Structure 1
Amino acid sequence: MNEIRINSWDELQQELFAESWNEDLGRFRSRFAFRGLSDSNYTLQTTLMRLGGDYAPLERHLMRNFKKYAHHSAVESDSFWHWMARAQHYGLPTRLLDWTYSPFIAMHFATANICKYHLDGAIWAVNYIKVHQLLPELLQKRLDAEGANVFTVEMLAETIHNQEELAALSRDHSVIFFEPPSMEQRIVNQFAFFSVMPDPTKSLCKCLDSHPDMWRKIIIPAELKWEIRDKLDQANITERVLFPGLDGLSQWLRRHYSPKDASSICQTD
Structure 2
Amino acid sequence: MNPIMSLSDFIAAILGRGVEPTRLSTFRGHANEIYTLSPSIFRRPITRESEHLLLRELVSAHPEDFVADASALEMLVRMQHYSLPTRLLDVSMNPLVALYFACESAKKRVTSTDPRYKTQTVEADGQVIILTVDRNRIRYFDSDKVSCIANLARLRHDLKDKIDTFMPQDDFNADLPIKRLLHFVRQEKAAFEPEIIPADLNDIVLVKPKQSNKRILAQAGAFFAFGLLQELIDGNRAGIAIERLTIQGDKKGDILKDLDKLGINEKTLFPEIDRAARYLTESLSTGVAASRIISAAT
For normalisation by structure 1, the TM-score amounts to 0.72
Alpha-carbon contact 1:38-1:119 (below 8 Å) kept: yes
Partner residue, 1:95: 87
CA-to-partner distance for each residue in 1:84-125, whole Å, 9 max, x for gaps? Answer: 111112121111111111001111111233878722111111
Identify the range of structure 1 (31-40 vs 41-50) with the bigger mean alpha-carbon deviation: 41-50
Distance 1:195 1:189 in 2: 18
Partner residue, 1:209: 235
Identify the range of structure 1 (153-162 vs 229-238) with the bigger mean alpha-carbon deviation: 153-162
Q: Find out whether 1:31 has 2:57 as its counterpart.
A: no
Partner residue, 1:146: none
Alpha-carbon contact 1:124-1:217 (below 8 Å) kept: yes
- Within 5 A, what are the aligned runs for 1:3-22? 5-19=3-17, 21-22=19-20
Q: Secondary structure at the match of 1:196?
A: strand
CA-to-partner distance for each residue in 1:121-156, whole Å, 9 max, x for gaps? Answer: 111110022xx7xxxxxxxxxx5xxxxx63222224
Alpha-carbon distance change, 81 to 38 in structure 1, aligned in 2, over 3 angstroms: same
Partner residue, 1:153: 141
Q: Find out whether 1:108 has 2:135 as its counterpart.
A: no
Partner residue, 1:189: 218
- Within 5 A, what are the aligned runs for 1:140-179? 150-156=138-144, 160=148, 162-163=151-152, 164=181, 168=198, 169-171=200-202, 174-179=203-208
Alpha-carbon distance change, 213 to 151 in structure 1, aligned in 2, over 3 angstroms: closer
Alpha-carbon contact 2:28-2:129 (below 8 Å) kept: yes
Moved over 6 A (4+): 114-117
Q: Percent identity?
A: 23
Partner residue, 2:129: 124
Alpha-carbon contact 1:35-1:125 (below 8 Å) kept: yes
- Return 5+ residue gaps in structure 1 as ranges: 25-29, 133-142, 144-148, 260-269
Alpha-carbon distance change, 213 to 62 in structure 1, aligned in 2, over 3 angstroms: closer
CA-to-partner distance for each residue in 1:46-96, whole Å, 9 max, x for gaps? Answer: 22123x235433111112222333325625342221211111121211111
- What RMSD in Å do the two structures reach over aligned CA positions? 3.1
Partner residue, 1:79: 71
Across the two proteins, how many residue pairs are aligned to each other? 229
Q: Secondary structure at the match of 1:106?
A: helix
Displacement of 1:179 after TM fit?
2.0
Q: Which has the larger radius of gyration?
A: 2
Displacement of 1:170 after TM fit?
2.9
Q: Find out whether 1:234 has 2:261 as its counterpart.
A: yes
Displacement of 1:235 after TM fit?
0.6
CA-to-partner distance for each residue in 1:140-198, whole Å, 9 max, x for gaps? Answer: xxx5xxxxx63222224786383236894233xx2111122223212101101111211
Distance 1:23 1:100 in 2: 18
Distance 2:212 2:273 in 1: 18
Alpha-carbon contact 2:207-2:223 (below 8 Å) kept: yes
For normalisation by structure 2, the TM-score amounts to 0.66
